[in-house]
Structure 1
Amino acid sequence: MPLIVKDFTWEQTDKVVFITVPLKGVKANKVDIFSSEEYLKVSYPPYLFECLLYAPVEDGDSVAQVGNGAVVFKLLKKEGDKWPQLQSDLAEDKSSMKAKREEAFAKAEEKAKERDRRKAEEKRANEKYVLNEIMKAEEEERSRIEKTKESERQQATQELEAWKEEQRLAAEKEKERLMEERRKEEAAEREKRKEQERIQRRQTRGKKASIFEENAEGAPKREVGKISVSFTHREFPTPERESVRPKEEEWLKKQAEARRIVELEDENLSEEEKNPMWLRDKGNEFFKAGNLEAAINAYSHALRLNHTLHSCLSNRAACHLKMRNFFKCIEDCSKALELLVPKVQQNADSRLKCHVRRGTALCQLEMYVEGLQDYEAALKLDPNNEQLRTDSEKIRHIIQTETVS
């Protein structure tokens, strides 16, 4: 049976009611406080304080403070009149008190449910807002990536069109050059024929007309012609034989290479700068340092000294790939693969790099089918390379997607 607290005190103004309930030595953490518009309850066993207020108050704006051995209520009145007493007359009636208590508890429960419902709605609204923001950010990221891809695609297309135009102009220039040479040859041939006719007329001038002249008994003059025989130029004085042709071609290649190296001789170059292997190593150092243009110059000079250095072609292709010179990268990789024969295990790693670099450049130009062929060739050389397998699957997926669309 709880002990009813009766030694509480209260004060009031026109708008506020203050109620002080002593805790009688009970710790503040063991006090249970309940308040509503008309009912107050303070429970701290074995003591109990209950109050059925004379008039309703603003429950949302009222406060209760626990401290200094007491609970102090600050209640804001709904109506600004002074109360003749603190408790309602119904507080003496147990049944009315019980009904008011249950009513207060029911209202408090409804408020708690309403508060939980509002919190849940706010939480859902916040989650929806966050989800919308995430979706918006993802959409912006997708849009940015798509714009970047479109920009790269347009740039690659422009480079391809520029290369095609360059090839077309070169073909036209070559055609014009050949036509000009042909016109010069025809003009020279005509001049040669005219000169021969003049010589012939001088030789026959003053002679008796023959059957080859028109004034010889009115017979038509027979046309004078000349058959020109040209022989294939040959470096060797002996007749050409198929059995010795490979040796002759090899000797001619060596002589051409020697003449080319002599043409590249420069007094200002040091001995190291005339060594293609030293230039290759220097290019590798420039590449590692990120100086791609210097690396390309070093590799190019080494190839002028020795055009069979496939490693210089492959490394220069890597530089072109980093600088987005995709067509030059493809050209260097193709030349390097032509030099990497026969296809043996010793040059497998070099062939793999060339295939991967050429395949990457082709994919950058959106030539995915050709790029996939290079990646598959690289996979045959290194079947256990998971990165190559993953890249091949991505390229195959792009090709299938474009085919479906």
Structure 2
Amino acid sequence: MPLQVKDYTWDQVESQVFLTVPLKGVRAGKADIFCTEDYLKVNFPPFLFEVILFASIDESKSSAKVGNDVVIFTLCKKESRMWEQLTTVEVSKEKLQKRRENAILAAQEKAQEAAKEKAIKKRENEKYSLEKTMKIEEHARKQIEEMKEQERRKATEELEQWKLQKHEEEKLKRKEELKHAKQKIEAEKRRMKKKEEAKIQNSDSQTSNKHSVKGGTAANMFAENYNDKIIPDPRSAGNIEVQFTPRVFPTALRESLIAEEEEWLRKQAEARRAKNANIPELKDLKEEEKNPDWLKDKGNKLFASGDYLAAINAYNLGIQLNNKLPALYLNRAASHLKLRNLHKAIEDSSKALDLLTPAVPDNASSRLKAHVRRGTAFCELELYVEGLQDFEAALKIDPNNKTIQDDAEKIRRVIQGAPPDP
């Protein structure tokens, strides 16, 4: 039996109560302190101190200091007034036990509410983070589109300038060719004229006249033929088609930006891999992986092989597909126990018990496992009273289970202050 501590001292002001409880050998981290708005308990084997307070306190603002063989409490009153005494009038053991159970239930409900609020806050933070990521990606996409549009306009302007420049060059070239052809024709005419004049001087008048006519005709014909041959026809107008090399990156290829494009693509691939590793998309699953029962069996095999973290991942995916299967929560609780994620094991066991309602003979085995696993997690957290309640609930399901009976007896001895068996 534990030793009840009676030689405590207390003092008060209108808003606070100062309580000093002497515990020989007490150290920080070794004393089990439990406090609600009207119940206070300190368990440091073999010593036990518990009291039902005269009025309600605000446990969230109250504090305790442990050390130097004493525990000093600073309790904040909900109502600022002087207490007539520290405890209520004497009550029977049954009423004290009832008050203790009510305090534990209230603490459990508060812990569940806190866990729900934490989960809601976590989902809100994840939603906020996702929205921020989407905004960043949208901003980056708009920047890429703007860069693409600027490059397109720039390329179009350069092409138009090139066309205009080529057109001007062609016009100048045609003018030069025409001018050069005219110069050749004039030079040929002068040469032919000098030749005809020389022939006229060396021949008689009749022959000169004949040759003069023929020469003139030949010269005129030669000039016309030469003119037709040298002067080209005007070129017809047309369009130049430019084909760009197809590529995956959304902007046009620039040699100066190749390093930046490769870095951007690498970061995008890493971000996608990280996201798929944490939250796998259901559309990427294989056909058999979309079956929660298959995932449960997969997790069981990984658990049996000792890969508890991989087993948890398999159960997580199964719960995403179907969150109404108690076996997934129950097996995930066992994996969390192996990894000493005790609070998560308690949460999963409680969720499994919620799904295993109503209590019928067909789900008795699953309810037994849920109580034992949650009770084990409570005991690992040194919450022996809560753990004993789960083991007693398991014994109600299977009263003849010798192992559970022995474990429950060990927990009772720890609560009473007796040293546990090795």
**TM-score, normalised by the number of residues in structure 2:** 0.46
* RCO higher in structure (CA 8 A, sep ≥6): 2
**TM-score, normalised by the number of residues in structure 1:** 0.48
| Bigger Rg, structure 1 or 2 | 1
